[in-house]
Structure 1
Amino acid sequence: MSLAITGLLAAVTWKLASDFLVAKREQGATSQAAIDARLVQDAPRDPAGADSEGLLTGLAGGGDITVAVRRAGTWTTSGHPIDVDALPDELLALANSGVAARQRVILGGIPVLAVALPLRDGLYLELAPLTELDATLRFLSWVLVVGVGVSGLLGLALGGWASTRALRPLTDLRDAAARMAAGDLDARLPEQDDADLAPLAVTFNRTAEDLQRRVRRDVRFAGDVSHELRSPLTTLVNAVAVLRRRRDDLPLPARQAVDLLDADVHRFQKMVTELLEISRDEQIDPRDLEVCDVVDVVAHALATRPDVVLDVRGSPPQVPVDRRRLDRVVMNLVENAEQHAGGAVRVGVAPSSVGVRIEVDDAGPGIPVELRDEVFERFSRGANAGRREDSGGTGLGLALVARHVRAHHGRIHIEDSPAGGARVVVELPRCTT
């Protein structure tokens, strides 16, 4: 808007100023030429009819102005030398017909104003240079262009500052909502002085506090239930172990029942253990963090799986991690690939733009794009959800992985693997100190 307004003002200023200066210059040159022509008309001439050279030299004024008189087909000139034949024929034709004429022309690369006036027995021509006027107009144009550019930049800077200041509350709201969507339930909006925005901030903060209390209550409930289930579950596990030892003494239907009971009890035990871990506070105790080589942690997690290839590219930087949590992340990803995707075929470690990148490629058919976010939710098992013949997954493994990665302020997502399956990518930030 600033650029448009100043551009319009500059165009109007240029039009008015240039028209005024050119008109004044033409008016002055025409008036002076008329006076000079009258002097030439009334001045006495020598017996041969020639004009006085002294008069023409005086009218030329030192050489900047060119004065020319034509009588009997002969030109007499004084001042700056010119080629009279280079003048426009229309200009001379009008003067010969008894009509005063003027025209701006370029002679020898110099802009001049040519004024042709008829005499009783000839033609008077006066050429006034427009160099100073041309320089003035050029300087004025540059001033206006620079002024428009500076005004546009100032308007852009002022508009950017004003819009940023005006939209800062909405930006804070967007950032706080994004933090909450990423799992940071401590995100709050600062108090607002604006009467229209203050209720929005209060409502958002109240909603965030209610959501945080509800999530914590649900997590605490899951933890309490899991803890209370541990004792009876331990009894069940021991009882199933006794039955397993006497399995051969049982009839075939009873052996099948023991096998089903054993599988479900162990699955139940794993679910309770993961529920207890996922119900813990997501924040990492700073005392548990240590700057370490991720390659060593991943290699330790894969020590019992020699068939999985460890691929290290470049020189991954050291990152601050909780070794127990990171070890659990790698183990859960490998186990998830074994249970649902034909097994892990490669675990890669490489540097990334944020720190370290861990990749786990499986041998499965891949994960559809629409399910790649859903698989990190609790009790989500993708296309196998609700199927009894599933391989025993609890639906908590990837949710626990995502929780541990968020606790490290990292990111996790799924890509297509070059081998044809799915690739789970974990990115952990580098050490900043």
Structure 2
Amino acid sequence: MRVRRLTLRWRVAAAFGFGALLLTATLAAVTWNLAAGYMLRQREEGATRQAEVNVRLVDRELRSGGEGLEDLLTGLATSNESSVLIRRPQGWVTSGRAVSPAEFPKPLLALAEDGVPARQRLMAAGGPVIAIALPVSTQDGVYVELFPLSELDRNFRFLSGVLVTGVVTSGVLGVMVGSWASRRALRPLKELTDAASRVAGGQLQARLPDQDDPELAQLAAVFNSTADALEARVRRDARFASDVSHELRSPLTTMANAGAVLQRRRGELSGTADRALELLLSEVERLQRTVVDLLEISRDDQQPDAGNDETVDLGGLLRNVVEPRPGTKPVIEVDVPAPMVQGDRRRLDRIVANLLDNADKYGGGAVRVAVRRCDGWARLVVEDAGPGVPEELKELVFERFSRGAHAGRRGHGVGSGLGLALVAQHVQRMGGRVWVEDRQGGGARFVVEIPEVPL
């Protein structure tokens, strides 16, 4: 399975977004480490200084007999979340939030017993605290004070939330800025693509506008000169085909008239001469049709916008083309009300007639024709019950001088290979599309879609 790649625009936008995300994430990580480390150090140093002052007060009280020790400890426990503990020979004396001495790490108390001040961050009484353990010179005691870190923890959470939000926001803004920048940077490429598409679609007059940027100006100049050369070449080819077709019409008319005279006297001809006359008349007729089609194609190539555009009832036009034709009539289905299209009536007539002629020549005649509405499009359908069109020829049949599986055949009833090419050209001129698909039950189904005119 082929993985679909992102477009260039979105790759540029993703690169901007990733770059912004990486940069802000790095800045956020540095900010977090510096700010969190600084705030934590400040809190630890402040707690240590406060504990040193408090232990001196306790030591002084113990030297004076310790009568007011409990009141002193109550005063030292400045908040409901702080705890003060003193280990004396009689046991532990506590004040503030109740904490079991068993929650303290033994190495922390051991250092204080050895006369070494110690501190440690730990979880006690259901929350984070800084435990400061200091020796008490009187009675060889240990003073332990717990300073809550809940407020600092809330500050950390708030800071982390702000930093994460900033990182995500910068990534989104980076994608938006990248999309905007890529859109502006790729605008000349889009204009080039649009102009090339219009040229490929037959609008040979499509050109790129003048550019102020020197590099883009050179690109526009090269494209426009190429388009000028292509347009001139197409015009010359179309004019050549038109001139040749005009030159061929007179001798072909003479040959057709001469053939008609000979045909009226076929009874005087031998069998071989009669067969030769039949082949001659068949080839002259086919050549006349080819010349007429070439004239129309060349005229359309030289004047692609020529035509009298009007609003046409596609259903009525279909009936006007189908009903006068000889032979078995196909089933006609038209939506009510019939869709309206904007276009040249002559071209529309030729589209329907050529599709019906194609069905007659290669599909045994049309069995169903329909005009439908389809999501803003007027859809013309011509179906036959013939052998159908092979998959590899479904696009090739709309090219000039392509006759598919009948290539190389000659004789009566064989087309020139220009009928479907004219259909495709006329449909394209009207902003539509045409394709062939398999008919359910066998045969071919030719579909033409032209933009519908709102009623």
Q: Is the 8 A contact 1:37 1:124 kept in 2?
A: yes
Q: Which is worse superposed, 220-229 or 358-367? A: 358-367
Change (3 A) 1:62 1:289: same
Which amino acid counterpart does residue 361 of structure 2 have in structure 1? Q
Residue aligning to 1:292:
312
Q: Which is worse superposed, 178-187 or 370-379? A: 370-379
Q: Percent identity at matched positions?
A: 52
- Matches of 1:127 and 1:314, distance apart in 2: 88
Q: Is the 8 A contact 1:315 1:351 kept in 2?
A: no
- Matches of 2:339 and 2:85, distance apart in 1: 88
How far residue 256 of structure 1 moved from its aligned partner, in angstroms, is: 1.0
Change (3 A) 1:306 1:32: farther
- Matches of 1:417 and 1:189, distance apart in 2: 43
Residue aligning to 1:276:
295
Change (3 A) 1:185 1:102: same
How far residue 217 of structure 1 moved from its aligned partner, in angstroms, is: 1.9
Change (3 A) 1:368 1:35: farther
Q: Which runs of 5+ in 2 are unaligned?
A: 1-18
- Matches of 1:70 and 1:12, distance apart in 2: 42
Which amino acid counterpart does residue 247 of structure 2 have in structure 1? E
1:200-240 per-position Cα deviation (integer Å, ceiling 9, x unaligned): 32222112112112211221222233233333323322322
Q: Which is worse superposed, 389-398 or 342-351? A: 342-351
Change (3 A) 1:208 1:46: same
- Matches of 2:358 and 2:106, distance apart in 1: 95
Which amino acid counterpart does residue 326 of structure 1 have in structure 2? L
- Matches of 1:100 and 1:367, distance apart in 2: 96
Name the SS for the 2:120 alignment partner: strand
Q: Is the 8 A contact 2:340 2:454 kept in 1?
A: no
Q: Is the 8 A contact 1:91 1:103 kept in 2?
A: no
Change (3 A) 1:364 1:5: farther
Which amino acid counterpart does residue 120 of structure 2 have in structure 1? Q
Structure number with higher relative contact order (C-alpha < 8 Å, ≥ 6 residues apart): 2
- Matches of 1:115 and 1:302, distance apart in 2: 103
How far residue 30 of structure 1 moved from its aligned partner, in angstroms, is: 2.5
Q: Is the 8 A contact 1:240 1:258 kept in 2?
A: yes
1:44-66 per-position Cα deviation (integer Å, ceiling 9, x unaligned): 3786x676122112211243422
Residue aligning to 1:158:
177
Aligned counterpart in structure 2 of residue 206 of structure 1, from 193, 214, 225: 225
TM-align CA RMSD: 2.9
Aligned counterpart in structure 1 of residue 241 of structure 2, from 215, 222, 240: 222
Q: Is the 8 A contact 1:95 1:123 kept in 2?
A: no
TM-score by length of 2: 0.84
- Matches of 1:44 and 1:314, distance apart in 2: 108
1:59-117 per-position Cα deviation (integer Å, ceiling 9, x unaligned): 112434221223346332222x2342672544665457545443334445543223333
Which amino acid counterpart does residue 354 of structure 2 have in structure 1? N
Name the SS for the 1:205 alignment partner: helix
Q: Which runs of 5+ in 1 are unaligned?
A: none
Name the SS for the 2:36 alignment partner: helix
Change (3 A) 1:241 1:132: same
- Matches of 2:431 and 2:39, distance apart in 1: 69
Change (3 A) 1:222 1:86: farther
Residue aligning to 1:234:
253
Aligned counterpart in structure 1 of residue 85 of structure 2, from 38, 43, 68: 68
Q: Is the 8 A contact 2:354 2:420 kept in 1?
A: yes
How far residue 370 of structure 1 moved from its aligned partner, in angstroms, is: 4.2
Which amino acid counterpart does residue 135 of structure 1 have in structure 2? R
Aligned counterpart in structure 2 of residue 21 of structure 1, from 31, 36, 39: 39
Residue aligning to 2:196:
177
Change (3 A) 1:6 1:307: same
**Alignment: residue pair count:** 430
1:32 is aligned to 2:54: no
Q: Is the 8 A contact 1:45 1:51 kept in 2?
A: no
Which amino acid counterpart does residue 385 of structure 1 have in structure 2? A
Residue aligning to 1:43:
61
Q: Which is worse superposed, 38-47 or 193-202? A: 38-47
Name the SS for the 1:196 alignment partner: helix
Name the SS for the 1:351 alignment partner: strand
How far residue 367 of structure 1 moved from its aligned partner, in angstroms, is: 3.5
- Matches of 1:91 and 1:307, distance apart in 2: 106
Name the SS for the 1:197 alignment partner: helix
- Matches of 1:352 and 1:369, distance apart in 2: 25
How far residue 417 of structure 1 moved from its aligned partner, in angstroms, is: 3.7
Change (3 A) 1:363 1:129: same
1:415 is aligned to 2:434: no
Name the SS for the 1:44 alignment partner: helix
How far residue 377 of structure 1 moved from its aligned partner, in angstroms, is: 2.0
Name the SS for the 1:186 alignment partner: coil
1:158-188 per-position Cα deviation (integer Å, ceiling 9, x unaligned): 2222222222222222221121111111111
Q: Is the 8 A contact 1:106 1:112 kept in 2?
A: yes
Name the SS for the 1:146 alignment partner: helix
Alignment of 1:78-227 (within 5 A): 78-79=95-96, 81-84=97-100, 87-90=103-106, 94=110, 98=114, 100-107=117-124, 109-120=126-137, 121-227=140-246
Which amino acid counterpart does residue 70 of structure 1 have in structure 2? R
1:337 is aligned to 2:359: yes
Which amino acid counterpart does residue 283 of structure 1 have in structure 2? P
1:254-303 per-position Cα deviation (integer Å, ceiling 9, x unaligned): 221121122112111211221222122353456x2222332332333332
Residue aligning to 1:57:
74
